[in-house]
Amino acid sequence: MAYRNLGMIIRYCKEIDDIDAIRTLYLSLVRSKVEYASFIWSPQQKCHTKTIESIQSKFTRYLFKKINGFYPKFPQNIPYKQLIQQLDLPTLENRRDQGKIKILLNCTIDSPQILERVHFQIPPPGLRPRNNLFKVRNNTSPLSTAMKLYNDLERKPDFALNKTEFAEFLESISVPD
C-alpha cells in the first residue's frame, strides 16, 4: 500500500515544484501507512528493516532529483544517510525506536495484561550506580525491545518533562543501533 501511494505521489507531482507540498503528501499518505502500529510489528531482522527503509530511500532520491535536478546515484553516489540529513527526515527505524520509548515512558499502554509485564528494577544500595530502570527478559516482544532501548539510552529523560519537552528530548538524542 505504501509503495502504491508513493508511486501515485511521484506520478502526480511531476508538474508540482513546491517541495513542501510533495513532502507533506509523502508524510501523510506514505509514512503514516508505514508507521501505523509500528510498536507492535516493528521488524527485528536487518533485511526487513532495509525493505521498509527502501520506501523512504526511494522518496528521498526522488525529492533530491526534484530539488537539485540530478539523480543522487549518478554522477556521484550520495549515501542514504546524507540524503535524509539534507532533507531533514529521520530514518524510519529511528522513528520506530523513538515511538517505542514514547509509548513506554508515557504509559500509554491501556492493557493491564501488558502493563503487568513491565518490570521496574529497583537497584539495591551499593557503590556502583546502575542505569537500568527496567528488568528485561531475553526476547524480542515489542515491550521487551522498548525496555532494552530505554536502558541503552546514553542520556535518560526526566520523568517531570511534559509531552512536548519529552518529544523534543527524544528528537535530540540518537537511539543506539
pLDDT, one tens digit per residue, over 58-93 is: 999 999 999 988 887 766 788 888 889 888 899 988
Whether residues 85 and 107 fall in one domain: no
pLDDT score recorded for residue 120: 59
Inside any domain, residue 15: yes
pLDDT score recorded for residue 18: 94
Whether residues 67 and 132 fall in one domain: no
Whether residues 77 and 43 fall in one domain: yes
3-state secondary structure the chain: CHHHHHHHHHHHCCCCCCHHHHHHHHHHHHHHHHHCCHHHHCCCCHHHHHHHHHHHHHHHHHHHHHHHCCCCCCCCCCCHHHHHHHCCCCCHHHHHHHHHHHHHHHCCCCCHHHHCCCCECCCCCCCCCCCCCECCCCCCCHHHHHHHHHHHCCCCCCCCCCHHHHHHHHHHCCCCC
pLDDT score recorded for residue 22: 95
Whether residues 111 and 166 fall in one domain: yes
Inside any domain, residue 118: yes
Inside any domain, residue 177: no
pTM (whole model) above 0.85? no
End-of-domain residue from the set 73, 89, 105 = 89
Inside any domain, residue 117: yes
Whether residues 77 and 120 fall in one domain: no
Domain of residue 67: give its range.
2-89
End-of-domain residue from the set 89, 119, 141 = 89
pLDDT in tens, 23-32: 999 999 999 9
Name the residue with higher pLDDT: 81 or 170: 81
In this prediction, residues 148-153 reach a mean pLDDT of: 79
Inside any domain, residue 35: yes
End-of-domain residue from the set 38, 54, 89 = 89
Whether residues 67 and 128 fall in one domain: no
Whether residues 100 and 71 fall in one domain: no
Q: Which of 13-27, 34-48, 50-64, 97-111 has the lowest mean pLDDT?
A: 97-111
Number of domains making up the chain: 2
